[in-house]
Protein backbone atom coordinates (compact mmCIF):
# COMPACT_ATOMS: atom_id res chain seq x y z
CA UNK A 1 0.00 0.00 0.00
CA UNK A 2 1.35 3.40 -0.93
CA UNK A 3 0.26 6.88 0.17
CA UNK A 4 -2.36 7.19 -2.58
CA UNK A 5 -3.86 3.80 -1.72
CA UNK A 6 -3.97 4.75 1.95
CA UNK A 7 -5.74 8.03 1.18
CA UNK A 8 -8.33 6.15 -0.91
CA UNK A 9 -8.90 3.63 1.89
CA UNK A 10 -9.18 6.35 4.55
CA UNK A 11 -11.70 8.28 2.45
CA UNK A 12 -13.81 5.17 1.87
CA UNK A 13 -13.70 4.02 5.52
CA UNK A 14 -14.51 7.43 6.98
CA UNK A 15 -17.01 8.46 4.31
CA UNK A 16 -15.07 11.65 3.53
CA UNK A 17 -13.56 13.11 0.39
CA UNK A 18 -10.11 12.15 -0.78
CA UNK A 19 -9.02 15.77 -0.26
CA UNK A 20 -10.06 15.61 3.40
CA UNK A 21 -8.40 12.21 3.84
CA UNK A 22 -5.17 13.54 2.30
CA UNK A 23 -5.25 16.57 4.62
CA UNK A 24 -5.77 14.30 7.64
CA UNK A 25 -2.89 11.99 6.66
CA UNK A 26 -0.54 14.93 6.00
CA UNK A 27 -1.51 16.47 9.35
CA UNK A 28 -0.74 13.19 11.13
CA UNK A 29 2.67 12.82 9.50
CA UNK A 30 3.55 16.50 10.08
CA UNK A 31 2.62 16.39 13.76
CA UNK A 32 4.46 13.11 14.39
CA UNK A 33 7.55 14.47 12.61
CA UNK A 34 7.46 17.80 14.48
CA UNK A 35 7.10 16.06 17.85
CA UNK A 36 10.02 13.71 17.12
CA UNK A 37 12.20 16.63 15.93
CA UNK A 38 11.65 18.27 19.32
CA UNK A 39 12.82 15.09 21.05
CA UNK A 40 9.36 13.97 22.19
CA UNK A 41 7.60 10.71 21.58
CA UNK A 42 4.23 9.84 20.09
CA UNK A 43 2.18 7.03 21.61
CA UNK A 44 -1.05 5.75 20.10
CA UNK A 45 -2.49 3.26 22.57
CA UNK A 46 -3.05 -0.13 21.00
CA UNK A 47 -1.04 0.74 17.90
CA UNK A 48 2.46 1.76 18.92
CA UNK A 49 5.00 4.36 20.01
CA UNK A 50 7.45 6.38 17.94
CA UNK A 51 10.55 7.76 19.64
CA UNK A 52 13.96 9.15 18.72
CA UNK A 53 17.19 7.49 19.77
CA UNK A 54 20.70 8.86 19.39
CA UNK A 55 23.14 6.62 17.54
CA UNK A 56 26.76 7.30 18.53
CA UNK A 57 29.53 7.86 16.01
CA UNK A 58 31.37 4.69 15.16
CA UNK A 59 34.05 3.21 12.97
CA UNK A 60 32.93 1.14 10.02
CA UNK A 61 34.50 -0.63 7.07
CA UNK A 62 33.85 -0.22 3.36
CA UNK A 63 33.31 -3.81 2.18
CA UNK A 64 34.48 -3.05 -1.38
CA UNK A 65 37.80 -1.44 -0.49
CA UNK A 66 38.38 -2.74 3.02
CA UNK A 67 39.15 0.82 4.20
CA UNK A 68 38.11 1.96 7.65
CA UNK A 69 35.65 4.86 7.65
CA UNK A 70 34.09 7.07 10.31
CA UNK A 71 30.31 6.95 10.50
CA UNK A 72 28.84 10.13 11.99
CA UNK A 73 26.47 10.21 14.94
CA UNK A 74 22.81 10.68 14.11
CA UNK A 75 19.28 10.48 15.43
CA UNK A 76 17.19 7.47 14.40
CA UNK A 77 13.45 6.95 14.64
CA UNK A 78 12.25 3.87 16.47
CA UNK A 79 8.77 2.34 16.42
CA UNK A 80 7.59 -0.13 19.03
CA UNK A 81 4.37 -1.86 18.09
CA UNK A 82 1.60 -1.95 20.70
CA UNK A 83 0.08 -5.19 21.91
CA UNK A 84 -3.17 -4.72 19.97
CA UNK A 85 -1.31 -4.06 16.73
CA UNK A 86 1.03 -7.01 17.23
CA UNK A 87 -1.87 -9.32 18.04
CA UNK A 88 -3.79 -8.19 14.94
CA UNK A 89 -0.83 -8.93 12.67
CA UNK A 90 -0.05 -12.32 14.18
Can you spell out the DSSP letters for 40-69?
--EEETTTEEEEEEEEPPEEEE-TTT--EE
Mean of per-residue pLDDT scores for the chain: 96
Query: What phi, psi does 45 have (nearest 5°)?
Result: -55, 130
Q: Where are the domains of the chain?
A: 1-38, 40-90
The average pLDDT across 62-69 equals 94
The average pLDDT across 37-52 equals 95
- Measure the CA–CA gap between 35 and 50, rounded to whole angstroms: 10
| CATH superfamily assigned to domain 40-90 | IHF-like DNA-binding proteins (4.10.520.10)
- Measure the CA–CA gap between 21 and 45, rounded to whole angstroms: 22
Residue 63: pLDDT band (50, 70, 90) is very high
Amino acid sequence: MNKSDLIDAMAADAGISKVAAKAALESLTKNVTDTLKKGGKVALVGWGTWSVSKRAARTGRNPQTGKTIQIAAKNVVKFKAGAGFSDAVN
